[in-house]
Amino acid sequence: MRTEFPSKNEIVRSWHVIDANDAVLGRVASRAAMLLMGKHKPTYVPSIDTGDHVIIVNAAKVKLTGGKEGQKVYRRHTGYPGGLIETGARRMRETRPERMLELAVSGMLPKTKLGKQMYRKLKVYAGEHHPHQAQKPAALAVEA
């Protein structure tokens, strides 16, 4: 018996929309990561990108549980000595709410070239409108 690997032409990619309005950040991110990797498909292979495109809307209205709104810190480094920049979750939500979800999803994807390829299929928008209506995305619900 042979193991079947899908070829590039056999992979069918669909589009999904996730509404993050009043949804928990981690639940939205894990659902999006699963769709981007293609783990929901029977043709899933860890070494091939078989995932779908994911659009997340209302990123500014995502919920953080517990005291994370005041305690969670996002860190990045400029590359220069003493260049560590720390931003709180409340400030991040005010300035770049899309980045909160992008960082959460990218943390759940593989840290390889394949993971970067999967990450490129993620589109995050702070409001409820997105420019991907022509792809006819299917709406997905995330458990509360």
Confidence at residue 134, expressed as pLDDT on a 0 to 100 scale: 96
Contact at 8 Å (CB) between 81 and 43?
Answer: no
Confidence at residue 8, expressed as pLDDT on a 0 to 100 scale: 86
3-state secondary structure of 59: helix
Per-residue confidence in pLDDT tens, the chain, 144 aa = 788 888 889 999 999 999 999 999 999 999 999 999 999 999 899 999 999 999 999 999 999 999 999 999 999 999 999 999 999 999 999 999 999 999 999 999 999 999 999 999 999 999 999 999 999 999 998 876
CA distance 144 to 63: 10
Confidence at residue 5, expressed as pLDDT on a 0 to 100 scale: 87
Torsion, Cα 129 131 124 94, to 10 degrees, reads -50
Confidence at residue 144, expressed as pLDDT on a 0 to 100 scale: 64
Contact at 8 Å (CB) between 75 and 56?
Answer: no
The β-bridge relationship of strands 122-124 and 138-140 is unpaired
Domains of the chain, CATH where assigned: 15-65+109-140 (3.90.1180.10)
CA distance 23 to 69: 14
Confidence at residue 89, expressed as pLDDT on a 0 to 100 scale: 96
